[in-house]
Structure 1
Amino acid sequence: MTPLTAGNTRVKEARKLSRRSVRTERRLFLADGPKAVEGALEAPDRVVEVFATPAGAEQYAGLLAAVDVTLVDERALASLSEAVSPAGVVAVCRMFDQAFDDLADANGPIVICDEIRDPGNAGTILRTADAAGAHGVIFTSDSVDPYNPKAVRASVGSLFHVPFAVDPDPAATVRGLQEAGWVVLAADGGGELDLFTADDVLRQRVAWLFGNEARGLPDELLELADHRVRIPIYGRAESLNLATAAALCLYASAKVHRK
């Protein structure tokens, strides 16, 4: 089979999935790289089509053995990838986010991301939630799309492991969780609780609330939260970045529940 070029209609249609509006309309997204494709193939019915260069198909022959592969040339593959050095394999996948109510029935901890704008942070939070054993992640509608190609890549496959939802109203999300018996903890540098002395609170069924990278959480959500939790700064740094703060908070929860 002659590899398809970047001008091929199937490649061009797949390339349109780099735009959020197209992803939302079609309920499809791109999984770029072997880790993302491996995660997608754990549930094969999610995968619509796999594109690979001849070299990529050979390199990942074991991974791709159970699926039909559409061969494309290097330029076509590069047009489907936002990586500086594309890995040679990209899949078109069906979206699979869950309803908010499904996550509200979990045991916790879960994460609420409000106005998270950086796709790298979104993917890293998914990866951290997966590593720390969290039960789900909720993205408000003002946050970056978790299906953004950069977010999918930054999750290193964890997008396919951690249940997640997209819920439009952050305040309604917080209230809904509280009504379902969750204790909502807002990560905030001025919080009244010190993360490292908050074990009694962390033993409860908690939902961590994280805000925008630059502005943090809005006053409305800070007031709705059951507690505001600060991570102590012992040196001269002004603050921690979002992904690092999320990792510390989620692992603090994990430590308490695994004692």
Structure 2
Amino acid sequence: MTPQQPLAASNARVKDARRLSRRSARAERRLFLADGPKAVEGALAVPDCVVEVFATPAAREHHAGLLGGAPVTLVDDRAIAALSDSVSPAGLVAVCRFLDLPTAEALTDADLAVLCADVRDPGNAGTVVRTADAAGAAAVVLAGDSVDAYNPKTVRASVGSLFHLPVAVERDVGAAVRAAQDAGLVVLAADGGGEVDLFAADDLLRGPVAWLFGNEAWGLPDDVAALADHRVRIPIAGAAESLNLATAAAVCLYATARARR
């Protein structure tokens, strides 16, 4: 059998996969790219998620244990660079099927969830997914005008966590909040002007809760925060005006995890 020759960047299959870097193409085909070993490993752990893995010969050899019997197509370095969103591609990119669930389904049986309202930065969104996974949350909902869950930067920033817990996409922030409440979760809006101090909220945090986080620049509008059951503020001891989104999410989620120990 003739050894497979790595495909070049000009190959039609590579070009077709590269189109998934555009949101419109992802939405139309319900496929996205997972770039790097952590993302590919996470994708391969989900049944029927991976359509195809593109790999350089060196990456296939180096990650043979990770790839197992996955369908691998060899490509050259220029092709992998065309498919990867990373400055230094690791040599592995998988074409994956969409994973998101309906909001109500994602929140079923959850006792800790995250609702993101109008989160626009893909790195922040991916970091929140990663943090939610690490803190033991059961679901993440990207609501309103939030960034695409399958944006390459979001997938990369989640470091595989996108594949570990249910993620839902909900256009209506109010509908996401109501779905969480209907699932038995107390919705806590992270709000610098909140009436509840995070450090005095252990009784609240021990129950089933969904944290509601707002946009990086303007936070939660009053009408959105008013939908929550409580507004919770993170104490600021120094002169800083506020915390950035990813840090605030980490503080709130780990305060919840600590209260439950």
TM-score (norm 2): 0.96
Cα RMSD of the aligned pairs, angstroms, is 1.1
What secondary structure, in the 3-state scheme, does the structure 1 residue paired with 2:250 have? helix
Deviations 1:10-60 (A, max 9, x none): 101100111111111101000000000000111241110000111111111
Map 1:1-259 onto structure 2 (within 5 A): 1-258=4-261
Deviations 1:186-232 (A, max 9, x none): 00111111111101111221110000000101121111111111111
CA distance in 1, matches of 2:114, 2:71: 36
CA distance in 2, matches of 1:104, 1:53: 39
CA distance in 2, matches of 1:6, 1:141: 36
Contact 2:107 2:138 in 1 (8 A): no
Letter of the 1:11 counterpart: V
CA distance in 1, matches of 2:166, 2:111: 11
CA distance in 2, matches of 1:54, 1:93: 21
CA distance in 2, matches of 1:22, 1:220: 34
Q: What 5-or-longer segments of structure 1 have no aligned partner?
A: none
Cα offset for 1:75? 0.7
Deviations 1:146-192 (A, max 9, x none): 11111111111100001110011101221232233221100011111
What secondary structure, in the 3-state scheme, does the structure 2 residue paired with 1:63 have? helix
Cα offset for 1:98? 1.0
CA distance in 2, matches of 1:234, 1:23: 44
Aligned length: 258
Which aligned segments of 4 or more residues in structure 1 are displaced greater than 6 angstroms?
none
CA distance in 1, matches of 2:137, 2:167: 11
Letter of the 1:221 counterpart: V
What secondary structure, in the 3-state scheme, does the structure 2 residue paired with 1:143 have? coil
From the superposition, tell whether residues 107 and 11 of structure 1 become closer, same or farther in structure 2 (CA, over 3 Å): same
Identical pairs, percent: 68
CA distance in 2, matches of 1:213, 1:80: 29
TM-score (norm 1): 0.97
CA distance in 1, matches of 2:219, 2:249: 12
